[in-house]
Structure 1
Amino acid sequence: MTEYVLTAIDTTQIQGYIFGSNRLQENIGGSELVELATHQWVYEALPAAHNVVNVTTGKLDNNRTIDTLDAEVIYAGGGNTVILFKTMDLARAFTGRWTRRVLREAPGLEVVVAHRLFDWQTDSLADVTDMLLRVDLARKKQQRTPSLPLLGLGVTKPCVSTGLVAADIVDGKPVAREIGAKHRAGDRSHERLTTYFPGMLRKGWEIPRDFDELGRIKGEESYIAVVHADGNRIGSRVSEIAQRYHQPAQNRDYIRAIRAFSQALERSARTALNQTVQLLMDAFLADPDIANRHRRKFPLRPIVFGGDDVTFVCHGSYGLALAVKYLEAFEQATQHESAFNGKPATACAGIAIVKTHYPFARAYRLSDQLCRSAKQMLRQERIDGSALDWHIAMSGITGTLEEIRRREYTAGQGKLNMRPLLLRQSTHTWRSWPTFKILLDRFIDENGEWFDRRNKVKALREALRGGQSTVQEFLRTYQLKQLPTAPALNVAGYEKTGWAGDCCVYFDAIEMMDFFVDLQKIVEDSRREQEEDAHAGV
């Protein structure tokens, strides 16, 4: 009998820990502490004989296995870290070292650890891993005693961020231990960011440390976009690997497969985010006038990155274009990874466009709801693809996304919004990004009849609220034959009524007019001009 211990690590209340502050530096620091706690600190707490080659990058040696080691990291990703230990004593000693460090250096971060004994020769590692993650960790989370912060003693100074007892000083202001740790971690996060995305520092750009540095222009109302993207059916792919290697004799094959998949997923997400950053860089090179508006502050800041769950903030008018780029690049990156077996992964994104000083926790919560909305649409339509959804909050937000849309985007005819949208054209539905983009272009084209005619656009928006008969009256009043068309939109009569059944065709495009900069078009137009100039020179 060869008995080992399987250990799984997870975090709880993670969204509140990372996104609970209105200060970008604290959000960044919270994310960095979670990254450190679930990766580097785990590796540094392992017993001496392990398979981690580099504790900073997490590189693993596939040739070093548990039969000659005290501990073997199976994988770290998707929110979990799974480790094999030779004995329960080694597993418990590791847990003590690791949790003490988390308590000291990441105050406020809540973690959960579960152990399970199993026999390598007679038990399926895939089944044991599933039980550990799905049952043991879930039970630990339910049974844990929530931590209660110390609210005050006889003489205290409140933290400027949380109102809890201050125990540190940051920039001359009293802060709680958690906030002090986040500020220090935020500085380290900048180092990791420049390693992952070196292009952000080229041409003298600075990485923003405050929401105001994401493109705020003095005297103008400023918006930021909170973009949250998440892979689709990643859990199902993990289950498929487990089903493929569910025999005890396949335990080593299971480790290789799940580790390769986890690493491929992380590479793909990082590649996609790199390409997203590069699109913005290319647009600034192509159009210096846009770049100059930002005063050398790069108007994009990743907050959560390193897995299929990605969150970044950027200037409000870039959010939609960058989200689309990320989804496209993620699909493409997974297409080239052998661990995906020729079936590229897809993802969904939620984009919350809010005023710069809007409560950030609410903005993130909205972006998460929007991402879930896109996923729900895919399930309802039974479509395997990527999708996106967005909301522009021009004022305060009250209620859930469903309540907001029922209150603000419902008319007698039906739904004013066509969102969520599929990323790619589909025979299942006309509600796709390519169709929406064509309609949006019709309104923002500088050479088109709708550009710079705000009164007419505003009148159309109000007519759409009134339904088909009001739109027809609008066309007669402005002596228009029809509204803009999109070739892929094969619904009869929409250009005369503004509606396709109970869904409005144009409202989303009109609303987005002032909140969209076509970064891809800027880059493509610049390249075309360069090619034409080069050809003329020849």
Structure 2
Amino acid sequence: MDFKAILLDTRSIQQYIFSGNQLKTNIGASYLVENLFADALIRAVEEVCGAGSIDEETWLKVAEPDWESMYTACRVGYIGGGNALLLFRPEIETQKLRDVVSTFTKIALVEYPGLKTGAAIGNISLDKNGNFLGNADGKTGLDLLHEELKNAQNTVFPEVSLPYTGLTLSCASNGETANVYDKEDNRFYSWEIETKILADRKTAEREAPAEKELLDKLRSVVAEEDRDDYLRGWAFPMKFDELGQKETEDYLAVVHIDGNNMGKQFRECSTLTQRKNLSISIRKKTICAFNALVDDILSCYDDWHFLKKIVRPDGETLLPVRPLILGGDDMTFVCHAKLALQFTAFVMRELKENGICSCGGIAILPTSYPFFRGYEMTEQLCSEAKKRMRQDDAPSCWLDFTILHGEQAPQLSQIRKQEYHDVLGRNMHFGPYRVDASGDMPEALDNLLLAMQEVHFGPHKMPMSKLKEMRRVLAAGRHEQVQFKQQLDYLIRNNPNSKMRLPAVEAWKTYEKELWAENRTPYLDMIEMLDFCLFREVENSGREG
């Protein structure tokens, strides 16, 4: 059966969400992106075609719908990943499809300011099972719509903000025209920033929409009898400085996790049914993985004495984590810096247990550091992890991390070239690290965690002054490195109980002789991450005197 169709996308989502330095604007922006199609697009169709003219539920609730059986003027094919597909009955005039796009963009301009969208109108042929029927060139209608959207991205650049004339006040958050006065904050904002703030503001008449949407999302995968009590007495932070940081440890972490080869999986979907079911399945698994993390946090929270416990006036305790993007094939959250490695590994392992291999990037930065820069770095770190992942024959999960501070180069490659090479030009960063590997692999994340635990709690705990000296020696020449290691060996020979020894990690024995092997060293990462890791005391270090 032939259908008329509209394929829509949202552009520059990450820049829209993460461009502000206030957590509440990031939260509000994420909420607006999440609800754009489910709200504004549905309303646009009903405004043009009439109330009840769109079937917005079948694609979500029916696993194997009959796509030829269509009793409304329009139905949703799928919504997800920043895209939406609408199918219209063949007798619907093409002008009405144009009117839908026009009405949708008008709603978006007023109620979702700053969001850039694109749309392509065409025809799609489907059988009852959702099989795409191709043309003489073998291309399906969906292929042609994607091509049209791609061409539009390179040729059409929508202007979605009021122009700044230079004679009006500029918004301190995004530089646009400050045309709205916020009474609660007692300052002027651009309409885009104000809309983001209002999306996460609680009033006497209503809950904060973004908070309600997040809790509804998390509760949707919880057993029905447990939903009412889920997270009772707990809340997610709404400011960057509410993640449990203390004044002496004022760091947070930005974490970005992205599924591996997801584009390939969607391209391999031969039917619309497969495509929409895959989208729904990935969304559910991602939410479940984050829910499992929340459950783990609740069970461990009282043992984390390094956290600054924050209780709101309503009695709710703030969690040390805040999700910003959740529900697609990627996930982004902020958390206390000491918890980032464990949280990231936990989520990635949960995803793998549910059939999704992923890679992750962790940027650790001061709380006052420009947030968008931190997020950009997580994307670069995730890309580095994916590069390493592609070298494996079997599916694998990798993560990479960096610590940001002060004035640094904008690119990860530049930072590592300038700050993480010794005098011989060797790279001192050992990662990325594999999350799902056994201890036999030197790059296994468990080996890094074991090394840090032993250095921190082991019976041969090396003094911090010696670790700082080791950090300096690693960047020096071979003579200094060999001399440092000989000094450690001499101290051990003269005192078998000496604390001056390297951590006992079996897979790192190759690196013990000269601290380096094959132009690599794992010890700098170990030293740098000591301040940003959660430890459990080690009873037996595995190293005899």
TM category (shorter chain) comes to 0.7 to 0.9
Instruction: Return the offset for 1:365.
Output: 0.4
CA contact 1:231–1:345 (8 Å) conserved in 2: yes
**Separation in structure 2 between the aligned mates of residue 8 and residue 152 of structure 1, nearest angstrom:** 32
User: Secondary structure in 1 aligned to 2:253?
Assistant: strand
**TM superposition shift of 1:425:** 1.7
Pairwise CA distance, 1:309 = 1.5
Instruction: Give 1:63-212 correspondences, 5 Å limit.
Output: 63=65, 65-68=67-70, 69-86=72-89, 87=92, 88-120=94-126, 123-124=133-134, 127-128=139-140, 130-132=142-144, 134-147=146-159, 149-152=161-164, 156-170=168-182, 171-186=185-200, 187-197=208-218, 202=231, 204-212=233-241
2:467 to 452, 457, 475: 457
Distance 1:332 1:74, change over 3 A: same
Secondary structure, counterpart of 1:256 in structure 2: helix
1:488/1:39 CA distance change after superposition, 3 Å: farther
Deviation at 1:495, TM superposition (A): 1.6
Which residue of 52, 57, 66 corresponds with 1:53?
A: 57
Distance change in 2, residues 1:64/1:185 (3 Å)? farther
Distance 1:315 1:80 in 2: 32
Asked if 1:353 is matched to 2:364, the reply is yes
1:280 paired to 2:297:
yes
After superposition, where does 1:29-48 map in structure 2 within 5 Å? 29-47=28-46, 48=52
What is the count of residue pairs matched by the alignment?
492
Q: Is the 8 A contact 1:30 1:182 kept in 2?
A: yes
Q: Is the CA contact (8 Å cut-off) linking 1:226 and 1:363 kept in structure 2?
A: yes
Change (3 A) 1:226 1:505: same
Deviates more, 1:164-173 or 1:461-470: 461-470
Q: CA deviation at 1:231?
A: 0.6
Q: Please say if residues 51 and 60 of structure 1, whose CA atoms lie closer than 8 Å, have aligned partners that are also in contact.
A: no
- Asked if structure 1 preserves the Cα contact closer than 8 Å seen for 2:441 and 2:507, the reply is no
CA contact (8 A) 2:112 2:192 kept: yes
Aligned to 1:223: 251
Instruction: Kindly report which structure 2 residues correspond to 1:93-492, keeping only aligned pairs within 5 A, or say none.
Output: 93-120=99-126, 123-124=133-134, 127-128=139-140, 130-132=142-144, 134-147=146-159, 149-152=161-164, 156-170=168-182, 171-186=185-200, 187-197=208-218, 202=231, 204-218=233-247, 220-242=248-270, 254-285=271-302, 287=303, 289-290=305-306, 293-295=309-311, 296-333=317-354, 344-382=355-393, 384-411=395-422, 412=424, 414-425=426-437, 430-445=442-457, 447-450=458-461, 453-478=463-488, 479-480=491-492, 483-489=502-508
Deviation at 1:206, TM superposition (A): 3.3
- Normalised to the residue count of structure 1, the TM-score between the two structures is 0.84
What is the root-mean-square deviation in Å for CA atoms of aligned residues? 2.9
Residues 377-407 of structure 1, C-alpha deviations (whole Å, 9 max, x = no match): 1224555211100001133332310111111
After superposition, the C-alpha distances for 1:485-530 in whole angstroms (9 at most, x for unaligned) are: 32344xx632222223111121101110001114xx59x99xxxxx
Q: Distance in 1 between matches of 2:169 and 2:121?
A: 41
Which secondary structure state, in structure 1, belongs to the residue aligned with residue 79 of structure 2?
A: strand
CA contact (8 A) 1:70 1:90 kept: no
- CA gap 1:119/1:514 in 2 versus in 1, 3 angstroms: closer
> SS at the partner of 1:368?
helix
Partner SS, residue 457 of structure 1: helix
Listed as ranges, the gaps of 5+ residues in structure 1 are: 243-253, 334-343, 526-538
Matched position secondary structure for 2:475 = helix
Give the aligned residue type for 2:198.
R
CA distance in 1, matches of 2:148, 2:376: 28
State which drifts further: 493-502 or 265-274: 493-502
Bigger mean CA offset, 379-388 vs 226-235: 379-388
Gaps spanning 5+ residues in structure 2: where? Answer: 47-51, 201-207, 220-226, 312-316, 494-500, 540-545
Which structure dedicates a bigger proportion of its chain to helix? 1
How far apart, CA to CA, are the structure 2 residues paired with 1:111 and 1:314?
Answer: 30
Provide the secondary structure at the position in 1 that maps to 2:361. strand
Percent identity between the two aligned chains? 28
Question: What is the TM-score normalised by the length of structure 2?
Answer: 0.83
Distance in 2 between the 1:157 and 1:36 partners?
Answer: 30
- Aligned residue for 1:26? 25
CA shift at 1:24, angstroms? 0.7
Aligned AA for 1:82? L
Letter in 2 for 1:330: L
Contact 1:46–1:94 at 8 Å: present in 2 too?
yes
Question: Does the CA contact (< 8 Å) of 1:51 and 1:62 recur in 2?
Answer: no
